[in-house]
Amino acid sequence: MRGPFRGLTVTRQKLSSRGNVGQDMKDVKKQGGLNAEIQSRIGHQLRAMYDDVVRQGIPERFVDLIRKLDVAEGSPQLGNAGEKNDGGE
Amino acid sequence: MPLTDSLRDDILAAVPSLRAFAISLSGNGDRADDLVQETLLRALANIDSFQPGSNLPAWLFTILRNLFRSDYRKRRREVEDADGSYAKTLKTQPAQGAHLEFEEFRAALDKLPQDQREALILVGASGFSYEDAAAICGCAVGTIKSRVNRARSKLSALLYVEGTEDFGPDETVRAVIGGSS
C-alpha cells in the first residue's frame, strides 16, 4: 500500500532502536551520509541556542535580588525587621 | 556554609548558565527568569546545606531542575512559544534562514521526553560531565548516557530524516504515515 514510503518507515524504526547497528549505519549512509555530520550539527545548534542566552550576562533584576537579600542576610540581628519580604518558602 | 561575599559572587556568576538551562528546559523566557529567581531564593534560604568546596553550579542546577519538575507537574507544559516569546529573549535576531532552522531545532527539542531533553542539555550544552549530570538528575550515570544517546538519535530522526527531500514533501509523507492503518 505505502510502497514508496516503506523504506522510510523501516529506517525510522532502526534509528530509534539501538539494535542491529551495522544495518543501521548502512541505512543511514544510504540516506545521504549522515550520522557523524548530523550529530555535530545537533551539538552545534544546541550550544548555539544555549550560549546565546549565556552571552546575555546577568540581568539587573538578579543583581538587585541578591543585593537586597544580602542586606537582609548580612545582619541577622536585624533580619526580621521586615527587609525579608519574599513570603514564599 | 554561611553566605560569604565570594559565595554570593559565585552564585551570581552562575546566573547566565542557569538562565540558559531554564530557557532550554521551558522554552519560555519569562517563565525561565521566574524559575531562576525562585532558584536563587531557594539556594540562599538553604545556603547552610551547601558543602563548601563542592560543585556550586551543579548544586544550583539541581535546585532549578527540581523546581522546574514540580512546576511542570502542576501546570503541564503550556504550548510554548506560539507567539515567539522565546525568540524575543534573544539579543540578536538571527537572519531569516537561520531563524527558521533555529525554530525547527527548538520544536524538535520540545518533542523529546523531558528526561532526555534535560540530559542532553546538561551534557551537550551546559558542559557537565555524565557524573555531574547524573547527580543533578538523581539517576545513574548509565541512565544519563542512554538518555543522551536516545535524545541525539531522536533529534536526528526529527530534523534530518523526517524532513529531507529524499522522501518527498513533508506533508505527503506525514499524511501517508499518519493516515496509514
Angle (nearest 5°) at CA B160 between B167 and B114 = 125
Q: Which three cell numbers stand for residue B121?
A: 542539555
Place of cell 538587585: A64
**Cβ contacts (< 8 Å) between A48 and chain B: which residues?**
102
A65/A70 Cα distance (integer angstroms): 8
Q: Which three cell numbers stand for residue B90?
A: 534573544
Contacts A–B by Cβ distance under 8 A: 132
pLDDT tens, residue by residue, B16-68:
999 999 999 988 888 899 999 999 999 999 999 999 889 999 999 999 999 99
B83/B89 Cα distance (integer angstroms): 12
Determine whether the interchain pair A55/B124 forms a contact, defined as Cβ–Cβ distance below 8 Å.
no
Asked casually if ipTM beats, i.e. exceeds, 0.90, the reply is: no
What does the longest C-alpha to C-alpha distance in chain A come to? 79
pLDDT tens, residue by residue, B127-170:
999 999 999 999 999 999 999 999 999 999 998 875 444 444 44
